[in-house]
Chain A
Amino acid sequence: MSESYEFLFKFLVIGSAGAGKSCILHQFIENKFKQDSNHTIGVEFGSKVVNVGGKAVKLQIWDTAGQERFRSVTRSYYRGAAGALLVYDITSRETYNALTNWLTDARTLASPNIVIVLVGNKKDLEAEREVTFMEASRFAQENELMFLETSALTGENVEETFLKCARSILTKIESGELDPERMGSGIQYGDALRRMHRQEKLQPRTSRPDCAC
């Protein structure tokens, strides 16, 4: 279906295997919990148009495999991502401990302006919790990440996570901190905006014939 949107953001979902990345994406797109999800092979893809502050934004989301052997495949997708969900499993300290590695990868491979949200998933398994909210909050603060705890099972905070990330990017665009036209920003103008933009460019700045869009 042709959906019109103003912006297209490239998103990444990263984090250790089994953290629930695919389930989060599935919950976000299908509004269903993906029972018996398998390990992702390479990279999978999903997209959804969301409304952020009155603007239609298309999210192009790459769900990466967390397993070590796919690292080289998944790394190539970091480039040009505008936002990333860094997911760990609150019931597994191992996934939490791996966060630093993931973060380094993201910071070095993706664009420096990438907006990262730390996501503590499986909030529903409170009894098995191994990582406290406080601890993760501190980690997020230290690394200048936004932080949310979600449950792909109940759907709690799933949509919010994506919206929060998108909203933050949008704010940065509006404040000029992010330039959507810069290469590898992970942001594209949608159908409506692009046309508008083109006209805008054609009229006041006719001196620039090499407009690349």
Chain B
Amino acid sequence: MALKLKLKSFIGSKQESVQTPIEETVTDILTIGAAVTKNKVEIKPVNPHEEQEIIDGIEENYYDNESFDTSLHELQKLPEQLDADQITEDCLRLRNQLQAVSKRVSELILQNHLAYATELQQVMDLQRTLQAAGLVCQTGRKHLSHARKSFTVASLGLLSNYRKRQQLIGLLKSLRTIKTLQRTDLRLREMMEEEDYCGAIHLCQECQKAASTFKHYKCISELSSKLQDTLEMIEEQLDVALSKTCSHFDHQHYSKVQQAYRQLGKTQMAIDQLLMHFTSAIHNTAFTIILGYVELTSASSGAANFQKRQYDDLCKHITTETFTPCLVDLCKAMWEIMKSYFKTISWHALNDQDSCDGDSEIFHQRYVGTKLDHGRSRIWEDVQQRVKKFVLATDLSGFKFDEFIYILDIINRMIEVGEEFCASKSEGLQDTLKLQSLNYFKTHHQIRLDELRMFLENEAWEMCPVRSNFNILHLVEFRFMRKWANSRHMIPENELTTEDKCESLTTDQESKSYFSCYLEEGNPFDKQFEEEEKEDVFSALLETDGELLSDSDSDVAEDLKKDYIDEITGEAHSYKHKRRSSSRTILHKQTPLITNTTLNVLRVMGKYLQMISILKPIAFDVLSSLTQLFDYYLYTVFSFFAPDASSHNEQAVNPRLLNTLQRIRDNLLTNSSVMYVPNKKDPDASTDKVATAKMSSVVQLSDPKSLFGLAERVVATESLLFLAKQLDYLQPYLEELIPITKKTFLSQFYSQTVKMAVEVRVPVYGVVSGLSVSYESVLQQMSTVRWDVKEIMSQHNTYIDQLLKCFSDLRKKLEEVDKRVPLPKVVINLFWEQCVKNANRTFVEGFANAKKCSNGGRALMQLDFQQFLTKLDQIIELRPIPDKEFVEAYIKAYYLPESQLETWINDHKEYSSKQLLALVNSVDHLSRKSRQKLTNIIEETDKGRRL
């Protein structure tokens, strides 16, 4: 600023005058180079000293810096008041100084020029060499790059690529394996479907091994966990497969499964599992079967959810119609399970021996063996429980007999299966059997008793024609006994059927075990069908039975048949009569007199016995019921045909029979005669009791023309005896059936009841013989006879003729009856015996009625009696005449001397006191004293008798 100002002021003052020089100066200063060269020429060489001085005089500042602004420096040096001289002087000095410097510089340049030139030359050379080097370098590089391009890159790439390839191939392999591994899952599933468990497990284990070698791959961890899952799934599948064994054992299948378990090292576990499966199979199967039936029958009634019910509860919903098929199905299914178990055991027994190596293996087997062995009873227990609960849940008492028998048979079969399966006594089922049987039997028996009453009340006591040699074995109901009877030679050889003969052969087969018979096919509970087949055999046999039972048209007893035709058509009797006498004798012995009711009782007894043979536990109950059937029959026959026999005419009835009748009345009969009504509310009250039967109004017992129903009486009484005879026949069989402790019951039954049956004849026929002859009127006539006649009469009295007429009429009537019912000889004899005894008693009574008697009278008595005996001989066949002594002795006692009479009276208590007194009184050769004595004796005895 200051400079500017200075310059301005300077310029301003000297504007015109100094203009040019300044310009010059400035230019000079600014162009030193030019000035130097210019000054060189102009300046004249000066003395060197001088020069030195000038150069030394140069201000220090000029050396300072290249950037030193010399002009500015000089200008600044200028004082405020510019002085032209001063400036000129300065200029000069400065010019000198410049000259000196330029000169010095030029000298220095000159001095160093050569060096410069050499140096320049060297530089040039260097430059040239450098250029050559650059060229070499360039070509070298060019070659190098070529070499690199054409050789190194390719081969090294090749090498590295090769290496990469190798690696990739390795990877690919692994990946392939992994892929396969992943695919195995599918294959495993396939194998499972093919049931190749062993293969599947093997494969799975292989895969796991493989997977573990690849575990460095990320995807593998997932895969191996999946494989683990698969393995578990296989085990589950295997378990399912194992469970299939329960319902159906398949040898191949089970072998596969077992092998698979062995591979897994889980054979022990498999057995435990298997036992569990069996248990649940039993439970589930039983439940399913019953549920099926319950749902079937309750489909219409309400949609109750049975699925959730308990087994016991469910069983209660089984209807009576479905009970039997359901039981059969249940047993069949249970059998299948047990059979599978049985086969499982057999499999192990067979296969475990083969593969016996190593101690642990033996230990395993022992484990398996004991487990399976213990399992038997457990399984049977389960099965038994299922069946028991099922059977007990239904009241079987309303079932048909045959169906019930069938049910019992099934249960018994089940018990036998159990016995064979694990030697079980099957208490559960036995109890069930006993309980249900007793319950059923009580009801059944009650119905049978009632039915028997109904039969008796409808019974007309007509003879039911059957073959002469008929016995119980001819009835279907007793067919089962033929074997027994045959073994005791109780069947006549000519009646043996072919079946009887091969019976012994078939028994062996029957005792064959269930597990050997039905192991491969069939089912022991399938028998329903077989049973029907058996029925056929039965029926084929029945054809002959029918003939045996009642004579078929072409049979031997042609006569018998003719009789019937005769009766209807009323054919000539005279001709027949002759034939009769010949055929009759045979018929008397042969034709059993039985009634429809008798047949029914026998059939019921047969069914009872069948029941016993199936039902040992209630054998005694059944047997005692069986005896009741006979009791009732006996009681009814007696009460129908000899109702008053017990009240009067006491000596005619065996007192033991009366005891028996009393016992029956007390034990078997209800008090009221009202028709029996089954009372469900109070079943015990009416158990084993039955109302007394009322005789059918068809039966007429008061008509003298029919001999007071003698035909009916005979049929009834003889049918009772026929029953008794059949029971006698059965006695040894029954004795085998019941426990020893109950033997007394049976022997009592036989001695007190069966044996007493024959005693029924006397009162029943006695009624007829008492009613059919009017002994009263004979007595009446006798009282008109005079017994004190003096002479010996040659003519008997007419009452004898009348009695004999009565007897011969009776005989005719008997023959009439005999046409309807062949009267057995015993009956005819008994009948006549009673008549004659009655007659004899009448005679004695009549003789005793004589107020007075003479010797002649006594002779007349003898004559009368003799006449009676002689004529009687022609009427009846009975020999000897009963009680003949009774009459004769009474007549002859008259002649005894006094001394003997006393002993005679003491010896003959069969006469009444009245008769004895009459005798004593009529004897006219007695002294009064002795007569009194004898009278006293008689009266004493009479008193003793009454006491």
A134 proximal to B (CB < 8 A): no
Which size bracket describes the interface of B in this complex? Answer: 35 or more
Flag if A1 contacts B462 (CB, 8 Å): no
- CB pair B539 A38 closer than 8 Å: yes
With contacts A1-B397, A68-B564 taken as known, whether A73 is within 8 angstroms of B596 at the C-beta atoms is yes
Which B residue's beta carbon lies closest to that of A68?
B564
Name 29 interchain pairs, CB-CB below 8 A, sorted by A: A1-B397, A2-B679, A35-B536, A36-B539, A36-B540, A38-B539, A38-B545, A41-B549, A41-B550, A42-B596, A43-B596, A45-B455, A45-B600, A68-B564, A69-B465, A69-B550, A69-B560, A72-B462, A72-B564, A72-B820, A73-B465, A76-B458, A76-B460, A76-B696, A79-B697, A79-B698, A183-B697, A184-B697, A194-B677
Q: Counting CB contacts under 8 A, is B599 at the interface?
A: yes
Is A36 touching B466 in the complex (CB atoms < 8 A)? no
Q: Which residues of A from 52 to 105 have beta carbons under 8 Å from B?
A: 60, 62, 67-73, 75-77, 79
A70's contact among B465, B540, B600, by CB below 8 Å, is which?
B465
* A183–B698 CA distance with the chains assembled, in angstroms: 12
Q: Mark A122-162, 1 if CB is under 8 A from B, else 0.
A: 00000000000000000000000000000000000000000
Which residue of B400, B458, B674 contacts A62 across the interface (Cβ within 8 Å)? B458
Q: How far is the CA of A31 from the CA of B462 in the complex (A)?
A: 32
Residue of B464, B466, B543 touching A38 (CB-CB under 8 A): B543
Residues of B within 8 A of A (CB): 397-398, 400, 443, 447, 451, 454-455, 458-460, 462-466, 535-536, 539-540, 542-543, 545-546, 549-551, 560-561, 564-565, 567-568, 595-596, 599-600, 674-675, 677-680, 696-698, 820
- Tell me whether chain B's interface is mostly helix, strand or loop, or mixed: helix
Report the number of A-B residue pairs with Cβ-Cβ less than 8 Å.
Answer: 86
- CA of A135 to CA of B451, assembled, Å: 40
B698 pairs with A41, CB closer than 8 A: no
Residue A179 CB within 8 A of the other chain: no
Q: How far is the CA of A43 from the CA of B455 in the complex (A)?
A: 10
With beta carbons under 8 angstroms apart, the residue of A43, A71, A73 that contacts B463 is A73
> Are A1 and B697 CB-contacts (below 8 A) given A69-B550, A72-B462?
no
**Distance, CA A68 to CA B464, complexed state (A):** 12
Chain B residue contacts of A188, Cβ below 8 A:
675
Q: Across the interface, which residues of B come within 8 angstroms of A213, CB to CB?
A: 674
Q: How large is the interface on A (under 10, 10 to 19, 20 to 34, 35 or more residues)?
A: 20 to 34
Q: How far, in angstroms, from A36 to B398 measured CA to CA in the complex? A: 27
Assuming the contacts A2-B678, A36-B542, A38-B546, asked whether A79 and B696 have C-beta atoms less than 8 A apart, the reply is yes
A sample of 14 more A-B contacts (CB under 8 A), given A1-B397, A70-B465, is A41-B599, A43-B596, A45-B600, A68-B565, A69-B550, A69-B551, A69-B561, A72-B462, A72-B564, A72-B567, A73-B463, A76-B696, A77-B458, A184-B697
- B-contacting residues, A21-62, CB 8 Å: 30, 35-36, 38-39, 41-43, 45, 60, 62
Separation of A69 and B540 alpha carbons in the complex (Å): 23
The 0/1 profile, CB within 8 Å of B marked 1, for residues 166-190 of chain A is 0000000000000000011000100
B599–A42 CB distance below 8 A: yes
Contact (Cβ within 8 A) B539 A41: no
A79 to B543, CA, bound (A): 31
> Top 10 closest A-B pairs, CB basis?
A76-B460, A1-B398, A36-B539, A2-B678, A42-B596, A42-B464, A38-B546, A73-B462, A2-B680, A43-B596
**A35–B539 contact, CB under 8 A?**
yes
Closest to A35 in B: B539
Chain A residues near B596 (CB, 8 Å)? 42-43, 73
User: Does chain B have a CB within 8 A of A200?
Assistant: no
Residues of B contacting A1 with CB < 8 Å? Answer: 397-398, 443, 447
Which chain A residue has the least Cβ–Cβ distance from B464? A42
Structural contact, A76 and B542, CB atoms closer than 8 A: no
Partner of B550, one of A36, A39, A76: A39
Do A36 and B536 touch across chains, with their CB atoms under 8 A apart?
A: yes
- Residue picked from B458, B535, B542, B596, most chain A C-beta under 10 Å: B596
Q: From residue B826, how far is it (CB to closest CB) to chain A in Å?
A: 23
Q: Complex: how many Å from CA A73 to CA B711?
A: 13
Q: How far is the CA of A76 from the CA of B696 in the complex (A)?
A: 9
Residues of A that sit less than 8 Å from B by CB: 1-2, 30, 35-36, 38-39, 41-43, 45, 60, 62, 67-73, 75-77, 79, 183-184, 188, 191, 194, 213
CA distance A68 to B562 in the complex (A): 11
Q: Do A76 and B678 touch across chains, with their CB atoms under 8 A apart?
A: no
CB distance from B351 to the nearest CB of A (A): 49
A173 to B503, CA, bound (A): 56
Q: Which residues of A contact B465 (CB under 8 A)?
A: 69-70, 73
Across-interface contacts of A79 in B (CB, < 8 A) = 696-698
Whether the Cβ atoms of B455 and A71 lie closer than 8 Å is no
In the bound complex, do residue A30 and residue B599 qualify as a contact, i.e. CB atoms below 8 Å apart? Answer: no
Residues of A within 8 Å of B458, CB to CB, are 62, 76-77
> Which residues of A are found within 8 Å of B674, using beta-carbon distances?
213
Contact A41 B466 (CB under 8 A): yes
Q: Could you tell me the distance between the alpha carbons of A184 and B458 in the complex, rounded to whole angstroms?
A: 11
How far is it, in angstroms, between the C-alpha of A149 and the C-alpha of B50 when the chains are bound? 186
Please, how many angstroms separate the alpha-carbon atoms of A203 and B170 in the complex?
114
- Please measure, in the bound complex, the distance between the C-alpha atom of A157 and the C-alpha atom of B416, giving whole angstroms: 44
Q: Would you call A60 and B460 a contact (CB within 8 A)?
A: no
Complex CA–CA separation, A71 to B568 (angstroms) = 10
- Residue in A closest to B535 when the chains form the complex, CB atoms: A35
Q: How far is the CA of A70 from the CA of B314 in the complex (A)?
A: 51
CB neighbours (8 Å) of A43 from chain B are 596
Residues of A within 8 A of B462 (CB): 72-73, 75-76
> Is A30 within 8 A of B400, CB to CB?
yes
- State A1–B455 Cα separation when bound (angstroms): 19
Beta-carbon contact of A45 and B451 below 8 Å? yes
Q: Which residue of A lies closest to B539 (CB)?
A: A36
List the A side residues contacting B543 at CB < 8 Å. Answer: 36, 38
Contacts of A62 in B (CB 8 A): 458
Complex interface: chain B residues within 8 A of A60 (CB): 454
By CB atoms of chain A within 10 A, which of B466, B536, B698 has the most? B698
Complex CA distance for A69 and B465, rounded to whole angstroms: 7
Complex CA–CA separation, A45 to B539 (angstroms)? 20
Q: How far is the CA of A38 from the CA of B540 in the complex (A)?
A: 10
Q: Which residue of B lies closest to A73 (CB)?
A: B462
By beta carbon, the residue of chain A nearest B680 is A2
CB neighbours (8 Å) of B540 from chain A are: 36
Which of A2, A39, A69 is within 8 Å of B546, CB to CB? A39
**Shortest beta-carbon distance, A14 to chain B, in Å?**
15
Query: Cα distance A168–B543 when bound, in Å?
Result: 38
Please give the distance in Å from B375's CB to the nearest CB on chain A: 41
How far apart sit A213 and B677, CA to CA, in the bound complex (Å)? 12
Q: Which residue of chain A has its CB nearest to the CB of B681?
A: A2
CB distance from B401 to the nearest CB of A (A): 11
Chain A residues with CB below 8 A from B443, complex form: 1
The answer to whether B464 and A41 have CB atoms under 8 Å apart is yes
Q: Which of B454, B464, B678, B680 contacts A73 (CB 8 A)?
A: B464
CB nearest neighbor in A for B543? A38
Task: Give the distance in Å from the alpha carbon of A153 to the alpha carbon of B454 in the complex.
Answer: 30
Contacts of B460 in A (CB 8 A): 73, 75-77
Query: Which chain A residues border B546 with CB–CB below 8 Å?
Result: 38-39, 41
Q: Which residue of A lies closest to B540 (CB)?
A: A36
- Report how far A79 CA is from B695 CA in the complex, Å: 13
Residues from chain B with a CB closer than 8 A to the CB of A36 are 536, 539-540, 542-543
Output the least CB separation between B250 and chain A (Å): 38
How far is A72 from B675 in the complex, measured between Cα atoms in Å? 28
A38 to B677, alpha carbons, bound, how many Å?
33
Minimum CB–CB distance from A32 to chain B (whole Å) comes to 10
Choose one: A35, A42, A72, A191; the contact of B677 (CB below 8 Å): A191
Question: What are the residues of chain B within 8 A of A70 when measuring CB–CB?
Answer: 464-465, 550
Bound Cα distance from A71 to B459, whole angstroms: 14
Chain A residues with CB under 8 Å of B698's CB are 76, 79
What's the nearest-Cβ distance from chain B to residue A96, in Å? 20
Of the residues B398, B564, B697, contact of A69 by C-beta under 8 Å: B564
Nearest chain B CB to A48 CB, angstrom units:
11
B539: shortest Cβ distance to chain A, in Å? 4
The minimal Cβ–Cβ distance linking A192 to chain B, given in whole angstroms, is 10
